Amino acid sequence: MPRIEPLQPPYDSEVAARLEAMMPPGAPPIGLFRTFVRNLPMSTAMGGWGGYELSKRLSLPMRDREIVICRTCARCRCEYEWGVHIAFFAERVGLDRTQVASLTRGTSSDSCWSDERDRVLIEATDALHDDSGIDDDQWQRLRTHLSDEQALDFFMLAGWYHAISYAANGARVTLEAGAPRFTDYSHGLTPGVTDHSHGGWASPDHLVEGGPRRTVAKGVEERHS
């Protein structure tokens, strides 16, 4: 059960306007956003930065963005936000099932990663999660692929999705019905991926299942601001 109940419709006008601003046109508000609007000043303040991270103003390509977000959420064991991004963006940015499994439970050395840029992003994301920084060798590898502007966006993107993961996990936001689950990419179900989670990160035992499965509405895209 969620620790903080998300708001349910009908919404008052201020809440309705905030939810509309947080979602793509015509899409019903997800549970995390309906939880955030319990604190309306907070959710309003978050809107500017969250909108930037998912907009075309971000200097990172969308594929880079989603690799960083999905890896960060998996490392934080945030099945909720990981599932939302896998459902909405994985296919769109060309992440196949093996690559999603590797982002969820594997490492950058898995054979599915043929592009060195992808490998470097995963390694750097792991370093930020494990050590709150990257060493000089990692920095040099990262700089081969990212400009100064992109490196700064990368650091802030990883940090932002730590914050989102902490909020979703701490509040125990109910998983979205129909969104993927960590168990969909369990060890043994995806050849070519070595499971390095060891029952820790990306372990479904830490989180609460979210009701009956159904198809996530297709066509949901980020709001470009």
Identity of the residue numbered 80: Y
pLDDT at 105: 95
pLDDT at 204: 45
Q: CA 131, CA 56: separation in Å to the nearest integer?
A: 29
Same domain for 109 and 123: yes
Which residue range is the domain that position 102 belongs to? 59-205
35 pLDDT band (50/70/90 cuts)? very high
Residue with tokens 């830490």: 206
Residue 29 belongs to a domain: yes
Same domain for 78 and 45: no
Helices then strands, each counted (H, E), the chain: 9, 0
Same domain for 77 and 29: no
Tokens, residue 103:
């982002």
Residue 221 belongs to a domain: no
The residue among 215, 220, 214, 183 whose CA lies nearest residue 33 is: 220
Could you write out the DSSP letters of every residue in 20-39? HHHS-TTPPPPHHHHHHTTS
Same domain for 163 and 86: yes
Identity of the residue numbered 112: C
Same domain for 50 and 65: no
Q: CA 161, CA 46: separation in Å to the nearest integer?
A: 12
* Domains: count for the chain: 2
Same domain for 199 and 92: yes
CATH number of the domain encompassing residue 90: 1.20.1290.10
Q: Which residue has the higher pLDDT, 193 or 223?
A: 193
216 pLDDT band (50/70/90 cuts)? very low
Same domain for 65 and 52: no
Q: CA 92, CA 112: separation in Å to the nearest integer?
A: 17
